[in-house]
Amino acid sequence: MSDLTELYQSVILDHNRRPRNCRAMPDANAEAEGYNPLCGDRLRVWVRLGDGNVIEDVSFEGIGCAISQASASLMTTAVKGRTRAEALELFSGFHDLVAGDAEATTGLGKLTVFAGVREYPSRVKCASLAWHALRSALAGANEPEHP
């Protein structure tokens, strides 16, 4: 039997209930929407990039399941203060973690709480929705993304 506590860890439940950086950002210089037409989950990610492509601030708003909300929240805490390149590298590692491509992923810190998603293929998109939106925002794209 699948172990639900692997998926719904307390860190995830906490970030679902009290999402960090969950707000619009009027002075953002990049933003993008993430939309999963399969389940209707939708969120918007805002980024303020500073000198040296450093993410000075990042935020999100939207609706979705616990996995997508917590993932968006944890993503904002993970990429704030990092450079664009570092953030994209983090997404790559995160994707390997949840899509099950790599057994050993390092440097992900708190994001490893999403390792349980790997056992639930239909939920991988929930976990990566915010990251896809972040990538679109960092690419300067304002088109809605359909992951």
Partner 1 sequence: MPATDLRPPAVPADPGVRPYDVAAVRREFPILGQRTNGRPLVYLDSAATSQKPQAVIDAVSRFYATGNANIHRGVYRLSEAATAQFEGARERVARFLNAPDARTIIFTRGTTESINLVAQSYLRPRLRPGDEILLTAMEHHSNIVPWQLVAAATGAMLRVAPISDAGELDLPGLEALLGPRTRLVALAQISNSLGTVNPVRRVVELAHAAGAPVLVDGAQAAPHLAADIQALGCDFFACSGHKMFGPTGVGVLYGRADLLEEMLPWQGGGDMIASVTFERSTWAAVPSRFEAGTPDIAGVVGLGAAVDWLSALDRESVAVHEALLLRHASERVAAIPGVRLIGTARHKASVVSFVMDGVHPHDIATILDADGICVRAGHHCTQPLMRRLGVPATARASFALYSTTDEADALAAGLERVRRVMAL
By the criterion CB under 8 A, which residues form the site for partner 1? 1-2, 4-5, 7-8, 10, 13, 17, 38-42, 63-67, 69, 120, 123, 126
Q: 55 near 79, Cβ under 8 Å?
A: yes
Work out how close the CB of 22 gets to partner 1 at its nearest, in angstroms, rounded to a whole number.
15
Residues paired with residue 47 on neighbouring β-strands, in sequence order: 30, 58
Of residues 44 and 80, the one with the C-beta less far from partner 1: 44
CA distance 145 to 125: 12
For residue 42, the minimal CB distance to partner 1 (Å) is 8
- Least separation in angstroms between CB 113 and partner 1: 15
Strand ranges, E, within the chain: 30-36, 41-49, 55-63
Report the residue number, 33 or 57, with the smaller CB distance to partner 1.
33
In this structure, the strands spanning 41-49 and 30-36 are: antiparallel
- Of 39 and 88, nearer to partner 1 (C-beta) is 39
